[in-house]
Amino acid sequence: MSSFGSLSAPAAGVLAGASGGFAEGEAQDIFASYPSAVAALCAQTASGPVGFVVTSFTAGISFDPPMAIFSAQNSSQTWQILREAPSIGVSILGSDQQHACYQLASRSKNRFEHLQYRVTSSGAVLLADSPLHLECEVLSETPAGDHQVVLLEVKGAEVRADASPLVYRSRGFHHLVAAG
């Protein structure tokens, strides 16, 4: 087995955490090695646009009806606001949108300053130039440890086939490169 960042490889035949749990931060380091898309989840509220980014977003949980899923930390104040929105926009960030990720992940009062976006008639906020836009409604939330697993029904979609997604892995951003 190879090492995971600052983690050392466990003894042969023994997986990390298998003998009584993970050390603090160890699970995050291990899960960070899994590549994922970066999704901005945003909605219009009475006080303006609200949004945050997640790397736990997965589309295609169901095709009929179309559904997606993500997880939000129980401590997220932004999720407490977004969950009440009638519609949430999901923008899968493009390889040139790292700035949007940092800005939406910040604690700034105006996370949307200098970001280009549009608001749909149902209140979903979609970031300009993203490879994929989904307009969603929250179907359910399920407690899962220190997170909530959120099931979304996809009500509308736009695909920009010429754009490449931003990929997050091992606490850094990466770009897809065609194999072969």
Secondary structure of residue 35 in the 3-state scheme: coil
Is the pLDDT at 36 greater than 70, yes or no?
A: yes
Domain definitions of the chain by residue range: 36-159
Q: So what's the pLDDT on residue 49?
A: 97
Q: So what's the pLDDT on residue 20?
A: 67
Measured distance CA(35)–CA(177) in Å, rounded: 13
The answer to whether the beta carbons of residues 121 and 143 sit under 8 Å apart is no
Is the pLDDT at 14 greater than 80, yes or no?
A: no
CATH of domain 36-159: 2.30.110.10
Query: What strand order describes the sheet that includes 172-175?
Result: 36-37, 166-169, 172-175
What tens digit of pLDDT does each residue of 89-105 get? 999 999 999 999 999 99
pTM attached to this predicted model = 0.85
Average pLDDT, the chain: 88
What tens digit of pLDDT does each residue of 73-83 get? 999 999 999 99
> Which among 170, 174, 172 has a CA at the least distance from the CA of 31?
170
Residues with Cβ within 8 Å of 155's Cβ and at least 6 positions away in sequence, in order, are 87, 122, 135, 136, 137
Q: So what's the pLDDT on residue 1?
A: 38
Helix (DSSP H) and strand (DSSP E) numbers for the chain: 3, 12
Confidence of residue 3 (pLDDT cuts 50, 70, 90): very low
What tens digit of pLDDT does each residue of 105-114 get? 998 788 999 9
Tokens 């736990």, residue located: 56
Q: So what's the pLDDT on residue 13?
A: 53
Measured distance CA(106)–CA(100) in Å, rounded: 10
